[in-house]
Homo-oligomer: A and B are copies of this chain.
Amino acid sequence: MAGYVSEAVIKRLPAYYRHLKELEQEGIMQISSQGLGERMGFTASQIRQDINSFGGFGRQGYGYHVTDLRMHIGHIMGVDQKHRMIIVGSGNIGTAVALADSFPRNGFETVALFDNSERKIGSRIGELIVQDAAGLKRYLDENTVDIAVLALPANCAQEVANQLYAYGVRGFWNFAPVDLKVPADAALVNVHLDEGLQVLSYRMQQTR
């Protein structure tokens, strides 16, 4: 019964995907909503509701086929496709994303890295040479790019996002501490690391 998938469910999809992958690695082929719920810390009922919101992949009396379900969820999220990313900003975070091997291993490949600092342009980070941000338009004219990783200061992130949108980029992964706005035909995820730390600080007070 593939209907509307709520935002709450979407945010859980990656966790389903990860746990199902772990089960595969353990050689487990089948699992019930009860079993998966115990592993993930959800109720069996929620597991069934969630999975049913995008289609009935289970079998009564049996449960779910692990690989089957994992592949379906991967397809729904689109992680069965390759994604080409550019990183704008070669500071700490830009560098970390460029060097991480987990992203390419999951199909998110960094194809270019830009900065506007004279000091950084031309330097090597992993396999990539930092390019002049002035060449962004040209690069995007000549290459397919799905996602721009924004790893730059808060005060220029929105402006750069606007430019990249104008040049055709429709996916934005923002690490700058601002809530960016992008047009409705683009997708955006904000990552606010500092906010996570603040929530941690709050929880530490409560547990005392």
Q: Among A26-34, A55-63, A132-140, A190-198, which stretch is in contact with chain B?
A: A190-198
Known contacts A100-B92, A177-B102, A202-B77; is A196 also within 8 Å of B187 by CB? Answer: no
Known contacts A17-B198, A41-B179, A189-B196; is A207 also within 8 Å of B102 by CB? Answer: no
Known contacts A41-B179, A187-B203, A207-B170; is A198 also within 8 Å of B92 by CB? Answer: no
Known contacts A187-B207, A198-B14; is A96 also within 8 Å of B102 by CB? Answer: no
Which A residues between 110 and 128 are near B, CB-CB below 8 angstroms? none
Known contacts A179-B41, A191-B193; is A78 also within 8 Å of B171 by CB? Answer: no
A103 near B194 (CB under 8 angstroms)? yes
Residues on A facing B (Cβ under 8 Å): 10-11, 13-15, 17-18, 40-41, 76-79, 81, 83, 92-93, 95-97, 99-100, 102-103, 106, 108, 146-147, 170-173, 177, 179, 184-189, 191-208
